[in-house]
Structure 1
Amino acid sequence: MATLHFELVTPEKLVRSDEVYMVVVPGTEGDFGVLAGHAPLMATVRDGELVVYASENNVSARIRVEGGFAEVTPEGLTVLAERAETLA
């Protein structure tokens, strides 16, 4: 199984840096999923829930994000959020 390098960053700190299966991002144009090998992309992030999958059917984290940007590169996915809070 190919993994995706994922980083979530706020102005205060690096919130998360992991190798994951998939991340679903709340984009302003709609939610979108990012897997390893995704085409390069830049998108704005709306307030909502970012969902991190450790494997195909295993959600490892739900994180409330507020605003920001998402960038997909050959190296992985980086989300720069104004605020981020891990949900229980």
Structure 2
Amino acid sequence: MATLHFELVTPEKLVRSEEVHMVVVPGTEGEFGVLAGHAPFMSTVRDGDLAIYRSETGEPERIRIEGGFAEVNEKGLTVLAEKAEG
């Protein structure tokens, strides 16, 4: 199983940096899921919950975020949030 490198960053600190199965991001145009190998993509992020799936069959961990940007590139997914709780 391929893993996705995921980072969650706020202006204060690096909140998460880990390998996961999938992350569902609350984009301003709707939620979108990111798996390993996703095409390059950039989106603004609305207030909502990130859903972090550590495995294909597990329950997601949810982290509340407020605003920001998400970028998917060859290195993985980076979410730059104004605030993150969790």
For the residue of structure 1 that corresponds to 2:39, the secondary structure is coil
Please list, as runs of the form range in 1=range in 2, the aligned pairs for 1:1-88 lying within 5 A after superposition: 1-86=1-86
Q: CA offset at residue 38 of structure 1?
A: 0.1
Calculate the aligned-residue CA RMSD, in Å.
0.7
**Structure-2 separation of matches of 1:60 and 1:47:** 18
Displacement after TM superposition at 1:44 (Å): 0.3
- Which structure has greater strand proportion? 1
Deviations 1:33-59 (A, max 9, x none): 000000000000000000000011213
User: What is the aligned residue count?
Assistant: 86
| 1:38 match: secondary structure | coil
In structure 1, runs of 5+ residues without a counterpart are: none
Deviation at 1:27, TM superposition (A): 0.2
**What is the CA-CA distance between 1:61 and the residue it aligns to?**
1.8
| Superposed structure 1 runs of 4+ greater than 4 Å apart | none
Which segment drifts farther, 56-65 or 42-51? 56-65
Structure 2 residue runs without a partner (length 5+)? none
